[in-house]
Amino acid sequence: MTVEFTDYHTRLAAYALLVDEQERVLLAWWNGEGHSDPQWSLPGGGIDFDESVRDGLVREVFEETGYHVEPGALLAEHFSTGRGRTFEGWFRSQRFVFEATITGGELGTTEVGGSTDRASWVPLAQLADEPRTEVVDVALAARRAQEARP
């Protein structure tokens, strides 16, 4: 199937992978927004029309976790396609995962009435049994690949 770029909606999103020295990953509990089961996701989300990907990442991480971050290197990119739930037609969700460093703030979701109910540091060893979005696995696979490089 060939779909021209004018025939689908695009959603840009940026996420931060933050793993502490205790091997815990910072995750945001996504509430499913009424169309999916709630599950863990990386902090981050949709980029506003008039902001850069990195600026959107900083905003989203603060809204979902209460932390101020400095984006680092691009760790992974990932996309998915599907049919719109709130509009007719196709969409492409383009996701960018960045390394990041916490520069301030404190743990606590600042977003009110949004898609994130809470944030938490989750031990990587316990993550296998937790419901999670695909972007979590994409990010952790990229991290493992990076660590395996000589």
For the segment 61-83, what is each residue's pLDDT rounded down to a tens digit? 999 999 999 999 999 999 999 88
Q: Look at residue 92 and give its three-state secondary structure.
A: strand
Q: Report d(CA 75, CA 80) in Å as an integer.
A: 17
Give residue 11's domain range.
5-148
Model pTM above 0.95: no
Average pLDDT of 19-29?
Answer: 97
**Count of domains forming the chain:** 1
Compare 139 and 114 and report the one with higher pLDDT: 139
CATH of the domain at 75: 3.90.79.10
Q: What are phi and psi of 134, to 5 degrees?
A: -60, -35
What pLDDT digit, counting tens, does each position of 104-124 carry?
999 998 888 888 999 999 999
Q: Report d(CA 135, CA 14) in Å as an integer.
A: 10
Q: What is the DSSP letter of 14?
A: E
Residue 34 tokens, joined: 């009424």
